[in-house]
Amino acid sequence: MKKYITIFVWVALVICCSTKTLKAQYQIPEKLGWWYEARFGMFIHFGSYSYLGHGEWAFSIENWKKADYQEKVSSNFNPEEFDANEIVRLAKDAGMRYIVITAKHHEGFSMWDTKVKSFKDVTGKKMYNLRRFTTFGKRDVLMELKKACEANDIKFCLYYSILDWGHSSQKINHIDGSTFSSMKSDSARTAYIRDMKAQLKELIKRYHPAVLWFDGDWTRKADKPTPEKWWTKEDGIDLYNYLVKLAPDMIINERVARSFGLGDFECPEQEVPETPSNRQWETCQTMNKSWGYNENDHDYKSVKILIQELVKVVSRDGNYLLNIGPKGDGTVPVQTTDTLQKIGDWMKIYGESIYGTTRSPFKTEPDWGFYIKKEGKLYIHVFSWPKTGELTIPTLKNDIKKIYLMADSENELNYTVNNGEIKISLPEDAPNEINSVVVIDVEGLPEASE
């Protein structure tokens, strides 16, 4: 008996360790419907740091004094060439369905004409935002982008940083980056949170963002606030409830206070979880190594890597938010436009295998690619085309109608079903060098036999 138990435990262990077990499907709340179907969005990091061109963390990393930063960086920010229609066209042509732009990043510089009085510069004399602190003039870049999005059926969404290096309530310990910002006093904290909520109300009333994407909750903790860990789980819950009252259909990410299961979706950063989560998620990724424009960063990921990551993410039931960092003048770096255009070339043929799809129906992932499904279709994304001329995949419970290459739907591929395997005959050459998709048309939603 003992022997059998040992063998059983061994077998169970081997199975657990060698397969990435997919958890049960979850219900998608109605308000997340469009977002869950969209699958692919554009992140835009744009702020006064774009002028300096050293990335959005420059203030902290380069030990700027608040006054110097505001005078030498922020006040010179003048995105005259910002062209919302062009950016939306880039996103749309790349196959992206929503755009999230930074309304205020950690630097504390607001991209709209906020009327909330405490968001002033270090002298306390001027409002610290694009309209009042620069010579840019009356243009409202967030509104321009929102209008362009609306005209092109793209959802407009906003990013907002909870921590704020510009605000008088907070000081920055440059030496230990891990402190992010600390609160000067308890009353400063209370007043800042009140004002932050007022800013968010402004953003909601003015721009009606489809998603509010929080960040900068790094100073969070579960219980009572301290000067360093000044943002609490309770603050996150309170903020979420406040926002939902103002805009019940708006989607809010988990970073109202991360890792407490709050918000409407999880957001790992530059990372793809090994398995699907037990709720909706989105990962954000940079195209090079920077979020905000960095003039020295030309280390762009290949189009192949980005497309394959998008596919991996969707096959594990996530959304993919890919970043661009426009320059201070508002133009988009040429490597960025080039990359987006090439992603679009692929998406134009294969986009239907991404939109409105859900995770792989199988328990394990092959080493040559990924599976993605939707009603009536199993999409087999093949990164490494088999030299044998044959692709073997596990069987489905569904009846198969036909199998074909997504790039050539007229010609059916031959296949056999035997011993729990479907063997599909493929042409010698891959139709697409980055990722070719084989489609199985089935009755119903694809379901693994096992």
Of 152, 124, 169, 136, give the one whose Cα is nearest residue 47: 136
Query: Considering beta carbons, is residue 104 or 312 the nearer one to ligand H79?
Result: 104
Q: Is 281 in the site for ligand H79 (CB under 6 A)?
A: no
Of 130, 137, 157, 149, give the one whose Cα is nearest residue 90: 149
Q: Is 293 in the site for ligand H79 (CB under 6 A)?
A: no
Q: Output the smallest distance, CB 177 to ligand H79, in A.
A: 4
Query: Considering beta carbons, is residue 54 or 92 the nearer one to ligand H79?
Result: 54
Query: Considering beta carbons, is residue 179 or 199 the nearer one to ligand H79?
Result: 179
- Angle subtended at Cα 221 by Cα 216 and Cα 227, rounded to the nearest 5 degrees: 80
Query: Considering beta carbons, is residue 44 or 422 the nearer one to ligand H79?
Result: 44
Give the CA diameter of the chain. 82
Q: Is 61 in the site for ligand H79 (CB under 6 A)?
A: yes
Q: Is 261 in the site for ligand H79 (CB under 6 A)?
A: no
DSSP code of residue 31: G
Q: Is 282 in the site for ligand H79 (CB under 6 A)?
A: no
Residue 174: Cβ within 10 Å count: 14
Tokens found for residue 231: 């943002």
DSSP labels for 223-243? SS--SSS-EEHHHHHHHHHHH
d(CA 304, CA 435): 8
Q: Is 49 in the site for ligand H79 (CB under 6 A)?
A: no
Q: Output the smallest distance, CB 163 to ligand H79, in A.
A: 9
Q: Output the smallest distance, CB 218 to ligand H79, in A.
A: 6
* Contact range with ligand H79 by CB under 6 A, out of 54-62, 113-121, 273-281, 325-333: 54-62
Of 304, 261, 257, give the one whose Cα is nearest residue 281: 261
Q: Is 59 in the site for ligand H79 (CB under 6 A)?
A: no
Q: Output the smallest distance, CB 159 to ligand H79, in A.
A: 7
Given candidates 44, 50, 53, 56, which one binds ligand H79 under the rule CB under 6 A?
56
Q: Output the smallest distance, CB 408 to ligand H79, in A.
A: 39
Given candidates 57, 133, 281, 293, which one binds ligand H79 under the rule CB under 6 A?
57
Q: Output the smallest distance, CB 180 to ligand H79, in A.
A: 7
User: Per-residue x/- marks for ligand H79, 199-228, CB under 6 A?
Assistant: ----------------x--x----------
DSSP code of residue 118: T
Q: Output the smallest distance, CB 91 to ligand H79, in A.
A: 17
Q: Output the smallest distance, CB 57 to ligand H79, in A.
A: 4
The order of strands in the sheet holding 318-324 is: 251-252, 211-215, 155-161, 98-104, 40-44, 318-324, 281-285
- Percent of the chain that is helix, strand, coil (3-state, to 5): 30, 25, 45
Decide if 214 contacts 255 (C-beta within 8 A): yes
DSSP labels for 177-207? GGG--EES-HHHHHHHHHHHHHHHHHHHHHH
Please name the amino acid found at residue 385.
W
For strands 436-442 and 400-405, give the pairing: antiparallel
Q: Is 389 in the site for ligand H79 (CB under 6 A)?
A: no
* Contact range with ligand H79 by CB under 6 A, out of 2-10, 56-64, 139-147, 432-440: 56-64
Interaction residues for ligand H79, span 101-130 (CB under 6 A) = none
Query: Considering beta carbons, is residue 165 or 350 the nearer one to ligand H79?
Result: 165
Decide if 103 contacts 158 (C-beta within 8 A): yes
Q: Output the smallest distance, CB 291 to ligand H79, in A.
A: 4
Query: Considering beta carbons, is residue 150 or 269 the nearer one to ligand H79?
Result: 269
Q: Is 284 in the site for ligand H79 (CB under 6 A)?
A: yes
Given candidates 177, 356, 427, 444, which one binds ligand H79 under the rule CB under 6 A?
177
Decide if 53 contacts 293 (C-beta within 8 A): yes
Q: Is 162 in the site for ligand H79 (CB under 6 A)?
A: no
For strands 40-44 and 318-324, give the pairing: parallel
Given candidates 46, 51, 192, 291, which one binds ligand H79 under the rule CB under 6 A?
291
The residues binding ligand H79 (CB under 6 A) are 56-57, 61, 177, 215, 218, 269, 284, 291
